[in-house]
Chains A and B, each alone.
Chain A
């Protein structure tokens, strides 16, 4: 796979598409190619787009991508749709709303299935973004699966996160619960030509005014604890907080899209002030290393278990001979092959 790296760096679209498949399948050679590409990454601005199903994320991505193209910027897009938990198959339909981008050599769209991942992205989405970044796209848009309240993986992959809402999606208590609304750098109320838009905007504004958003310095793990990181050698030099703007859009008409681009630009400038970007990247990298370590340790541990050990313990837990916590203790004490 490493041999396609020069072609990819030179802008060969088929080489990029092929590598993306290898990345998704975690095939042999993908890690090697990613390692070779890694020094070429870090140039693109990575924008996450998330929100409930039906808020118009794909249409918004389509409109935002067109607007960046009008500025002469190239755009890579990753759209994630869910994998069926029963069959492992998926219908990836985000391209339906992106037909305006077809035939533009400055755009590359790739659909990915979650393949069992629950955080709103697929496990390999971050690496797919790196391949697009190395291929030289100026802006990368990541559209998550239709996300409800806790699919917040996108903040660990994107530099600017757009949370999309629409009129009629829920009352104002929904808006003050923890979760997806908190991760927004920019709040977009799409379908703003629909009735009820003022209520939605008001609920979001109340949410922002009543609580202070997020200390971005912290991220929680998949298990919900606040992640404790090593002390940062560079403490914050600028304590100013980013307050997410609330913008109204009607994506198919392009209404409100220039304002979205302006807000993304402001957020990007904010990251470049002081050391906000440094802090964000540091947390993202540390989080990714911990996640990968967890997966690697798990694979190594399971691979070394004596055959049948898991089956026997499952049966004992079912028979009420052991409780689940004790069964895990027993697994940890088993001799490894």
Chain B
């Protein structure tokens, strides 16, 4: 019964962290260990935290509209740290038209406003192979 470890991070400059906190709390209540790093994380900080904490999933919360710039950069730095096998999820204000581009960048799931937290929990359980 090993707990799933998830990093929830907010890259970029927007200061709206309620969504990230709601997700962190929902994942906690689903029995996961959530490392929450707070606001204004650079891609380097996120990749470094993911490595040190050996998380199985990284979730990014972005409400600034900068997802198409930030996400590939996070993926790139994570890959450079050898974290190619750690899936990346994105939540926040993401226009439907950008979902395909994000998935093409290797994002394993995109969750917009109104997503049921249960869907995110199930998605993560599905992504993380049983140890």
Contacts and interface: CB of A to CB of B under 8 A. Distances in A.
B96 interface: no
A111 B54 CA distance: 10
Q: Please classify how large the interface on chain A is, using the bins under 10, 10 to 19, 20 to 34, 35 or more.
A: 20 to 34
Contacts of A113: 3, 33
A54 interface: no
A92 B34 CA distance: 6
Contact of B35 (A14, A84, A95): A95
A14 B51 contact: yes
Residue from the set B30, B37, B45 with the largest chain A CB neighbour count within 10 Å: B37
A90 B44 contact: no
Interface in B8-50: 24-25, 27-38, 41-42, 44-45, 48-49
Interface residues of B, number: 31
Contacts of B38: 93, 95-96, 99
Given A89-B3, A91-B25, A96-B38, A109 B33 contact: no
Contacts of A27: 2, 131
Interface stretch (A18-26, A141-149, A162-170, A212-220): A18-26
A84 B28 contact: yes
B98 interface: no
Interface on chain A toward B: helix, strand, loop, or mixed SS? Answer: mixed
Given A25-B2, A89-B34, A95-B38, A102 B49 contact: yes
A89 B32 contact: yes
B34 to A, nearest CB: 5
Contact of A90 (B33, B81, B82, B131): B33
Residue from the set A17, A87, A88, A95 with the largest chain B CB neighbour count within 10 Å: A95
B53 A110 contact: yes
Nearest to A95: B37
A18 B131 CA distance: 13
B51 A103 contact: no
Interface in A99-152: 99, 102-103, 108-111, 113, 115
12 contacts: A14-B81, A17-B52, A89-B28, A91-B34, A92-B53, A95-B37, A95-B38, A96-B36, A96-B37, A99-B41, A103-B48, A115-B3
Interface of A: 13-14, 17-18, 20-21, 25, 27, 83-84, 87-93, 95-96, 99, 102-103, 108-111, 113, 115
